Amino acid sequence: MDEVIFLEVLEADEVHARHRLDRFPATVGRGYSNDVILDDPKVSASHLLIERTEDGRLMLRDTGSTNGTFRVEPWARLAELELTDDARVAVGDTVLRFRGRSHVVEDTRVTAIPVAPQVRPFERPFAFPVVLAVTVLTYLLREYLTNYQKTDWGSLALAVVAPVFVCFVWSGLWSVASKVARRVFHFGAHGAIGSLGLLGLLVIPLLIGVITYSLGLGAWVRWLYLATYLGWMGFILFWHLRYVTRTEPQRLITVLGLVLVCFGALTQADSLLGEEDFSSTIDFDRTLLPPAFQWVPSKPVDTFFEDTQKLQEDVDKLAKEKS
Amino acid sequence: MLTLLLLAALAQAPVPAADALPGDPPDAGTPAVVPPLPVATLPPATHELFERLKGRVAQVRIIERRSGTRSSIGSAFFVSTEGHALTNYHVISDIVHHPEDYTAELVREGKESESIPVRVVDVDVVHDLAVIQQDAPVTDWFELAPKEPPQGTRLYAMGNPHDLGTTIVEGTYNGLVQDALYDKVHFSGAINPGMSGGPTVTSDGRVVGVNVSTMGNQLGFLVPVVHARELVERAREVKESSPSALLAVVGSQLLDNQQRITERLLAAPLPTQKLGDYHVPGRWSPFLKCWGDTPHEPENPYTITSYQCSSEEDIYLSGAHRTGVVAYDHAYVSSDQLGSLRFASLYEATFSNDPGGVDATKEDVTNFRCRVEFVKVGGIPTRTALCLRAYKKFPGLYDLALRAATLNASTSGVQTSLTLAGFSADNARAIARRYLEALAWTK
């Protein structure tokens, strides 16, 4: 063995503490007279002695400990052991590893992006305030346009306060996660991502609603809704997670994709299983927009009533299957 | 609004029949109704009549099999020596729908302990009549009057209100209700829950009507005797009747009835009513009652004028299922102050407001299926939805809902809604089509 060796205290293969030993004999134990002190109540006050023999080898000896010393692989109690590189012994609940200076470490891992790190869009200065402002303005506009009564200042104020509050709470939670996992809050980035997510929650149904109405699209639009919502959720969660974990983007996308597909399937479970609750209400898309939004021609009355023939078949089928 | 006179066990609070019609002024101007006299001063005729007739009236009890006790009560009266008795369909509807859960029995005045099991022989669901029969022959029974009495004739309604024992109530005959979809006699006298299915007789003891419903305040309604006579004659021919056959009978009567209403509607021209800048379907047939109003709320930056027509009558199928309804309403929505986008959200909100539909439960009907499209009506674009649901127990019958909103102007428009309950799909579509095509723009 080398002149200098390192004693490493392991916790589940991770190095918890590392001690450089260059003068021998060296002692290990719980007592303060030792060269290496181990705070393990099952370790004796004076537990191990490491000394160099005349022919230069390093020997580890148990100095009469209460609970003994063990070789890890294969497990065996020992009184003394010649130290080799990477040798492991267990004392009490602690595992010790010995390595010399000549220990060969693994090759350096090559990073996926060998270019200079770019400034991510959400980290640009003022990204959070700008996105939040756009979101709040959109909510405010929506509130104004959908209120056909006398101006209601209370609900207008709520349209400002509610998105801001939600954004701050949401990004606060993600920031805490970032701080725990990566020691940086990234509050601005999380705030910008969160505000963008909130903006999508309002804009997506609005846009799809307008397109559905204007082009007279059919009932399959609900799948478009589902796909867009899931895609949007995936996008937002992906960026939040980029600031929380160090996982490779490819892997993150795969995992998120799987999770969202499962989530989407669960939300559609009852309609996929053909379950439908009884309801005596009339269920159709009530959207009405100004005349300029009608982009497809109106059908003649004849065609409309011919199209409704199919409804009869549909409800007849329902009546049969449930009775 | 109409209170049916079936007395259900769970609703035995003595109030229901006294429910005043909401919005109706108290009938202060019509003191024509004879105030009930104290028993001691009853004219001899009435009390003699009661003595003579009380044995012919009985109480019908609907017995729920598992609890072994009555779930609802009504009245009935004998009409033949073979033990046929008339009552209301709504008294015995539980037996038609759930023969495995309910049975019926008759209890006569003074013989509380002797209940006689009866079976349902035939029904007339449209006029709310049913014939039940006991096995033992009957010696004492009512004769049905051969013709309608003149208006003002003194009549006597009999029955068992609120399970208080057989009673007799004086009142007057006021003729058939005008412009009614389903024939009814207006009887000015107190009819109360539990008297359903009891007879109303002239002073010589002939039946002129069957007690059926009340609007409170001495406004009672009877089924005209002519329908009772037809049903009794038909019931005498019936040898065997099974519950499933009864359900089929109800189904075919409903089909006949909707055919009659459809022919009546399609034969008449559909008058239009001016509403804002539009023409909308007006009072199509005399049986429809139309009302209109514009709520004046100066704070609102818009006005909504509504116009609605309804048959205001329905056919009782079961406690939770009504049918035989024609109703529609229009709303003219306009605003000088709102921009086109804000008007669109108002227009969408009113379009999402559905008028109260027709009662039905999961075991009666399917869910609605709808189709919504841009449809060109009378040269103007509209957003039109047509919805249909099928009856589960009566194949071939459907409820239809039609909703349409005009889209030719950016800050005004008319929305219309048609409800048809209990029609064949083809008839419902034909009526809906005629209705939709009556919509027009006046400019």
CA distance B303 to chain A (A): 11
Interface predicted TM-score (ipTM)? 0.81
Indicate yes or no: CB of A283 within 8 angstroms of CB of B370: yes
Look at residue B35 in the predicted model and tell me its pLDDT: 55
pLDDT digits (tens, 9 = 90+) for A258-277: 999 999 999 988 877 877 88
Determine, yes or no, domain membership for B393: yes
Indicate yes or no: CB of B340 within 8 angstroms of CB of A283: no
In this structure, the answer to whether residues B145 and B287 fall within a common structural domain is: no
In this structure, the answer to whether residues B143 and B172 fall within a common structural domain is: yes
Chain B contact for A297 (CB, 8 A cutoff): yes
Indicate yes or no: CB of B371 within 8 angstroms of CB of A323: no
CATH number of the structural domain spanning residue B199: 2.40.10.120
In this structure, the answer to whether residues B357 and B223 fall within a common structural domain is: no
Q: Which of B373, B393, B408 sits opposite A299 (nearest CB)?
A: B373
Indicate yes or no: CB of A314 within 8 angstroms of CB of B369: yes
Indicate yes or no: CB of A149 within 8 angstroms of CB of B377: no
Look at residue B9 in the predicted model and tell me its pLDDT: 43
Closest CA in chain A for residue B397? A316
Look at residue B43 in the predicted model and tell me its pLDDT: 52
Domain stops at, among B193, B209, B241? B241
In this structure, the answer to whether residues B288 and B410 fall within a common structural domain is: yes
Closest CA in chain B for residue A296? B374
Closest CA in chain A for residue B437? A301
In this structure, the answer to whether residues B169 and B270 fall within a common structural domain is: no
Determine, yes or no, domain membership for B85: yes
Determine, yes or no, domain membership for B135: yes
Determine, yes or no, domain membership for B23: no
pLDDT digits (tens, 9 = 90+) for A195-227: 999 999 999 999 999 999 999 888 889 899 999
B5 closest CA partner among B75, B52, B82? B75
CA distance A189 to chain B (A): 35
CATH number of the structural domain spanning residue B407: 3.40.1000
Mutate to test the interface with B, among A281, A299, A311, A318 (most CBs of B within 10 A): A311
Please report, for chain A, the start and end positions of each structural domain, with discontinuous segments joined by +. 5-100, 126-271
Domain stops at, among B212, B241, B270? B241
Top-level CATH class of A5-100?
mainly beta
In this structure, chain A runs to a length of 323
Beta bridge partners of B358: none
pLDDT digits (tens, 9 = 90+) for A143-162: 999 999 888 899 999 999 99
Determine, yes or no, domain membership for B17: no
Query: Exposed, middle or buried, A218 (CB in 10 Å: 0-12/13-18/19+)?
Result: exposed
Determine, yes or no, domain membership for B33: no
- Count of A-B CB contacts under 8 Å: 154
Mutate to test the interface with B, among A301, A315, A320, A322 (most CBs of B within 10 A): A315
Determine, yes or no, domain membership for B32: no
Chain B contact for A312 (CB, 8 A cutoff): yes
Chain B contact for A146 (CB, 8 A cutoff): yes
Look at residue B5 in the predicted model and tell me its pLDDT: 57
- Tokens 């305040």 belong to B217
The predicted model scores a pTM of 0.78
| Residues in chain B where the model's pLDDT stays below 70 | 1-44
- Give chain B's domain count: 2
Range of the domain at B91: 42-241
Q: Which of B384, B395, B401 sits opposite A282 (nearest CB)?
A: B401
In this structure, the answer to whether residues B190 and B271 fall within a common structural domain is: no
In this structure, the answer to whether residues B312 and B401 fall within a common structural domain is: yes
In this structure, the answer to whether residues B231 and B273 fall within a common structural domain is: no
Determine, yes or no, domain membership for B7: no
Residue A74 pLDDT class (50, 70, 90 cuts): confident
